[in-house]
Structure 1
Amino acid sequence: MEKFTTLITLLLAAIIIFKWAVYKKWRSLPPGPIGLPVIGCLIQMITNKPTFRWIHKVMDDMHTEIACIPLGRVQIISVSSPELAREFLKKQDIIFASRPDCMSGRLSSNGYLTAVLSPVGDQWKKMRGVLALHVLSPAKHRWLQDKRLKEADNLVRYVYNQCKNSPEGGSLVNVRVAAQQYCGNVIRKLIFGKRYFGNGMEDGGPGPEEEEHVAALFTILSSLFGFAVADYVPWLEFFDFDGYKGILKKAIGTLSKFHDPEIHERIQTWEKGMRANEDDILDVLINLKDSKGAPLLTIEEIKAQIIEIMLATVDNPSNAIEWALAEMINQPEILKKASAELDLVVGKNRLVQESDLNKLNYVKACAREAFRLHPIAPFNVPHVSMEDTTIAGYFIPKGSHILLSRTCLGRNPRIWEEPLKYKPERHLKDDGSEVVLVDSELNILSFGIGKRGCAGVVLGSTMTLMLLARLIHGFTWNAPPDAPNIHLTESKCDLFLSKPLFALAKPRLSLNIYHQLKN
């Protein structure tokens, strides 16, 4: 009996010690609001829209650069410190290399068939290899250069055609439309070998099909990891209380309406022997083979990965350049300096080319500064902790979603002097070394790093810089005649400029350069 009592005592002591250890761990979570049982802070999330601004306010009010916000079954860890960001994505990168299993990610990737949105596993490794080796490799980047050039030419032609129809040789241009459609044109040309799904417009602008296509891409981007209730309480997905599921399904359906006929027709041309040479990314994906000579990718994998590639390429360059041009118009000396650099490196007898970009340090600094001050999204694509760990003395539970704040990293006053001022010179180095758009130290978050780093850094950087360089080199830009300057305010619901940028453009090169551009 005495031995039994001793055993029970030891067992109870072990349970108490274990529970105390667990309690101590959870007590050492990063600071944050106290949530209700089961639902956490979901009520606050629902009633404080947009959620990203509420999260940032919570962190500001608590004077913390790391916060833990319980949302349903998930601990959201929000980070605004570059030092802490490096702990997550550099020192312990392997622990945080997975992605969330949630409604918006699953729908957008067609059940996790893609590279960026899939949790760690064989499918992620397979698709990551496809992108790195066969789609976004340096060799493929060079192979697709001519297609990118045609869309850079079309951008200039589109803006020029609006100017030439004005009796004063200048015209108000919707820069947001020009930038977003340029990005859409580039990726459609790279993937499908075509600019338009329909007939397009004679002036080089988008037709209704392209407008619908790009709008659907941005709709998905705004809803993906957009703090839907079903992302944190899966059993509520059926009810779709906040409408995210319906919005995503409708937008994905729009993309499928345009993409699927192109994909099916192309597969048939290869099967019937009507196509002999690869000409674009779709050809590459169709013709990939496994070790046994069978198709490496299913049709569903091809469809899903094409959508993901498009999502990854349309938003960052277009948003950054709209903001950059707005900031530069308000600071004419910056615009003048960038134009002077282009004239020095390129001259006025031809248009800027991709081969010129590595010499355009100031133009690159202008783009990098836009990424710093005006990111397209408030947070990165979430990382998920695959095991319990500790960061800076804080307990980070397995399954936590890690959100690095793009806005707070880029505007952190400890890192950046005058953080809210657009000042490209801050990125120029005394030794004249080349400016790059990615920051491995995470003082800004333009492109991801580490195991989940952006495989399309080269493509994204090239698109961003060509868009900015072509607009500045080809045209002068001023505020509209009835406005002293551009009103630089963010939209309440996202990080876009509150109103699309309309700016007065006039050709600044010899007219024969514009006349040589072909449809």
Structure 2
Amino acid sequence: MEATSWVSYAAAWLGVLALLLLSRHLRRRKLNLPPGPKPWPIIGNLNLISNLPHRSIHALSQKYGPIMQLKFGSFPVVVGSSVEMAKAFLKTHDVTFAGRPKIAAGKHTTYNYSDITWSPYGPYWRQARKMCIMELFSNKRLESYEYIRREEMSALIRGLYESSNTNILLKDHLSTVSLNVISRMVLGKKYTDKSEDSIVSPDEFKKMLDELFLLSGVLNIGDSIPWLDFLDLQGYIKRMKALSKKLDRFLEHVLDEHIENKKAEGFVATDMVDVLLQLADDPNLEVKLERHGVKAFTQDLIAGGTESSAVTVEWAISELLKKPEIFKKATEELDRVIGRERWVEEKDIVNLPFVDAIAKETMRLHPVAPMLVPRLAREDCLVAGYDIPKGTRILVSVWTIGRDPKLWENPDEFCPERFIGKDIDVKGQDFELLPFGSGRRMCPGYSLGIKVIHSTLANLLHGFTWRLADGMKIEDLNMEEIFGLSTPKKFPLVAVPEPRLPAHVYSL
């Protein structure tokens, strides 16, 4: 009898609970999600994404509109691909979408999300951003390193002059100058020269960075389908862990060397690692900057400052080889403003609007990060009448924005003249052109990147006439790209530099 009573009592409570759950379900508002293709079980829409995700997503946006929802495995991904949507995600609701998704690259190659790029939004990241703005990339700091950029530019010009009238792999020269500039600014010395006391060879140093660029941008299956992560089906996790050990060995050596130098009498901080170590010793920091954080920041500074300028300038020269009339306009401006007896300095760029236009047009057509670094919705939000639930990953397709026929006439054509007389900049305020992003999580080193891109491009155009390798025609020039942390040419440009200034200028 007692057992029957207990069962009845339990059944009554279960009935009440079921009614409550049903009532709650009925009251819950049905979400109005952005349009998009129907996802498959388990994989979502990954079947629609090629090895060039930015192109696949661009094609989908043409069908589903400027805001659409995809499913990458079990994770919702909302893509904004218009000026209005970029402004909504990066400005209007900037704080809401200031998070970062936790992916394997951030975990395994940046000391468990301890760097500037992948650290979650919060006190640690805000402190890192403040360090970048106030210390590492302040105008005063960048001006103090101008002599480094000038010396390495001279070395680039001399190297190209010595290779005059021969086929060269331009990317090698551009990567070397970028890496040398960043190494000296961040680490205090170059690691591209052979040295007995160097912990890594020049080739090993470059290979580590190339691997980092690749692995930071891959579409890792485990990031979309977490329960498959342990299988490491593509082998990326194994490679990330191996790379992390190599990078850590190098960065440990760098920090030990700098800490030892600090003990010297009259020590003065001369590079960015010195500055980071000083900041780490500050007892007033809101969040203590641990040793692994200094290493993560250092790695970010090296990687972020090396690839973007080299990739952009290579794309620019490639486009100019297809349009010799644009090259002619640029050299006419350079001869008029600079003359033929000196090289272009950073302060000259403001007087070279056509060279600046070439740089902008290159960044429009070939953005280094075509979908920027993914963001994460930190809370529920309403955008353009659509519900964006907390935890949704956000992509902003600057690739699509740069090809929007409503914004750009003949958008697939390389035409720097479109920027002449237009007040459009790349500093994150003009949403038609966002190569460095916008808002709180905009690339903190954009000002340095702009300086290096402008200076390198201007001097390559001023000092040399460029032509394709012997026997190669313009129609043979391949303009395909590969996708990673950056988006470089699939087939590196082989070109021939021919001096166009008096011989004595190349020894200046």
Residues 452 and 492 of structure 1: CA distance in aligned 2, closer, same or farther (over 3 Å)? closer
Match of residue 392, structure 1, among 359, 384, 399:
384
Which whole-Å deviations, capped at 9, do the CAs of 1:114-171 have from their partners, x for residues lacking one?
22211111211121122111101111111111111111111111111212xxxxxx22
Which whole-Å deviations, capped at 9, do the CAs of 1:167-191 have from their partners, x for residues lacking one?
xxx2222111112222111111111
Q: Distance in 2 between matches of 1:386 and 1:479?
A: 49
Length-normalised TM-score, structure 2: 0.89
Which whole-Å deviations, capped at 9, do the CAs of 1:337-356 have from their partners, x for residues lacking one?
11121222211111111111
Residues 234 and 268 of structure 1: CA distance in aligned 2, closer, same or farther (over 3 Å)? farther
Is residue 120 of structure 1 aligned with residue 121 of structure 2?
A: yes
Is residue 512 of structure 1 aligned with residue 507 of structure 2?
A: no
Who is 1:79 aligned against?
80
Letter in 2 for 1:85: A
Shift of 1:13: 7.8
Does the 8 A contact of 2:426 with 2:433 survive in 1?
A: no
Shift of 1:237: 2.7
Residues 488 and 50 of structure 1: CA distance in aligned 2, closer, same or farther (over 3 Å)? closer
Match of residue 422, structure 1, among 408, 414, 418:
414
Which residues in structure 2 correspond to 1:13-28 (within 5 Å)?
15-16=21-22, 18-20=24-26, 22=28, 24-25=30-31, 28=32
Residues 471 and 121 of structure 1: CA distance in aligned 2, closer, same or farther (over 3 Å)? same
Residues 260 and 447 of structure 1: CA distance in aligned 2, closer, same or farther (over 3 Å)? same
Which residues in structure 2 correspond to 1:47-196 (within 5 Å)?
48-60=50-62, 62-163=63-164, 170-196=165-191
Does the 8 A contact of 2:426 with 2:434 survive in 1?
A: no
Q: Distance in 2 between matches of 1:44 and 1:186?
A: 40
Match of residue 346, structure 1, among 327, 338, 352:
338
Q: Distance in 2 between matches of 1:487 and 1:159?
A: 21
Which whole-Å deviations, capped at 9, do the CAs of 1:283-316 have from their partners, x for residues lacking one?
1112223245999633211111111112211222
Letter in 1 for 2:351: K
Q: Distance in 1 between matches of 2:369 and 2:186?
A: 25
Residues 56 and 437 of structure 1: CA distance in aligned 2, closer, same or farther (over 3 Å)? closer
Which whole-Å deviations, capped at 9, do the CAs of 1:208-235 have from their partners, x for residues lacking one?
9334323332322232252212212334
Is residue 437 of structure 1 aligned with residue 437 of structure 2?
A: no
Match of residue 287, structure 1, among 248, 256, 278:
278
DSSP-derived class of the 2:167 partner = strand
Residues 301 and 465 of structure 1: CA distance in aligned 2, closer, same or farther (over 3 Å)? same
Shift of 1:35: 2.4
- Runs of 5+ consecutive residues of structure 2 not aligned to the other structure: 1-12
Is residue 199 of structure 1 aligned with residue 191 of structure 2?
A: no
Q: Distance in 2 between matches of 1:297 and 1:185?
A: 27
Q: Distance in 1 between matches of 2:284 and 2:482?
A: 53
Who is 2:466 aligned against?
477
Q: Distance in 1 between matches of 2:436 and 2:214?
A: 18
Residues 59 and 474 of structure 1: CA distance in aligned 2, closer, same or farther (over 3 Å)? same
Q: Distance in 2 between matches of 1:252 and 1:428?
A: 45
Which whole-Å deviations, capped at 9, do the CAs of 1:226-284 have from their partners, x for residues lacking one?
221221233433221122212223333343344332221111221x3256111111111
Does the 8 A contact of 1:322 with 1:501 survive in 2?
A: yes
Q: Distance in 1 between matches of 2:432 and 2:20?
A: 45
Which whole-Å deviations, capped at 9, do the CAs of 1:457-496 have from their partners, x for residues lacking one?
2101001111101111111112223123261421365643
Which residues in structure 2 correspond to 1:205-224 (within 5 Å)?
209-224=201-216
Does the 8 A contact of 1:79 with 1:85 survive in 2?
A: yes
Which whole-Å deviations, capped at 9, do the CAs of 1:46-96 have from their partners, x for residues lacking one?
xx4344443333333x34222211123321112211111111111111111
Does the 8 A contact of 1:42 with 1:229 survive in 2?
A: no
Is residue 450 of structure 1 aligned with residue 439 of structure 2?
A: yes
Q: Distance in 1 between matches of 2:449 and 2:28?
A: 44
Moved more, 95-104 or 480-489: 480-489
Shift of 1:11: 8.6
Q: CA RMSD in A?
A: 2.7
Shift of 1:444: 2.3
Q: Distance in 2 between matches of 1:32 and 1:293?
A: 45
Q: Distance in 1 between matches of 2:330 and 2:203?
A: 31
Does the 8 A contact of 1:213 with 1:254 survive in 2?
A: no
Q: Distance in 2 between matches of 1:283 and 1:294?
A: 20
Q: Percent sequence identity over matched residues?
A: 31
Length-normalised TM-score, structure 1: 0.87
- Runs of 5+ consecutive residues of structure 1 not aligned to the other structure: 1-6, 164-169, 201-207
Q: Distance in 2 between matches of 1:509 and 1:453?
A: 39
Does the 8 A contact of 2:425 with 2:433 survive in 1?
A: no
Number of residue equivalences: 488
